[in-house]
Amino acid sequence: MLSALLHRATHDWALGQLIAHDEKRARTLISMFHNTATPTQMSAGHAPNVIPSTAEAVLDGRLLPGFDRESFLAELKPLLGEGIEVEVMEYGGPLETPVNTPLFAAMAAGLRRHDPDAIVLPYLLAGATDAKFAARLGIKTYGFSPLRLAPGEPFSELIHGHDERVSVQALAFGVQVLYDVVRDFTSR
């Protein structure tokens, strides 16, 4: 099923199957395979009884690796319709970091030391990250936040939610793994 996501002819079908079986993760899966634009701010008018002559919306666009500002705008503009002006207020571009580095290997080894059954693999983060600022300086970064979640713990539903949290046990595991990885990697 997952390999079908990588082929244009079977992508939509495979994504539909995954979403149908896991509706809670549908948004995350869709954003991992598509550029997204989410309206986050809107304004129009100055009084409740006056029809506004203009309206503005701020869109938060997230681009997949392989896309740039121009290709994203070419995809977005036809969806907005005629007469809509688009101004890019800030652009960071997508970020990719290779996994064949000593730091990635150290993270994998450290995690396996604490959980021998762990499977370490890269993940496409659909959200924003400050790693973009470090990347401009040539610094390779990873969003390494190890947690040992209990089965059924609704982690993805709690991220940046009004009740964002993880269990104390999950956090304690992560702090120990992260400490060991930093200690071991910096002592080389």
**pLDDT tens for each residue of 31-86:** 888 899 989 999 999 999 999 999 999 999 999 999 999 999 999 999 998 999 99
The answer to whether 155 and 147 have CB atoms below 8 angstroms apart is yes
Q: How far is CA 181 from the centre of its chain?
A: 23
Q: What is the pLDDT of residue 143?
A: 87
> Is residue 24 scored above 80 in pLDDT?
no
User: Angle formed by the axes of helices 26-33 and 8-21, to 10°?
Assistant: 160
Q: What is the DSSP string of 75-138?
A: HHHHHH-TT---------------S-SHHHHHHHHHHHHH-TT---------S--THHHHHTTT
Residues 65 and 52: their CA atoms lie apart, in Å, by 38
Q: What is the pLDDT of residue 6?
A: 80
Cα(42)–Cα(63) distance, integer angstroms: 21
pLDDT tens for each residue of 110-158: 999 999 999 888 888 877 788 888 888 998 889 888 999 888 887 777 7
Distances from the Cα of 109 to the Cαs of 70, 122, 149, 165, 178, in angstroms? 40, 14, 19, 27, 11
pLDDT grade, residue 20 (50/70/90)?
confident
- 3-state SS, residue 41: strand
Q: In the structure encoding, which two tokens stand for residue 81, read together?
A: 């319709």
**What is the pLDDT, as a whole number, of residue 128?**
75
Q: What residue type is 151 in one-letter code? A: P
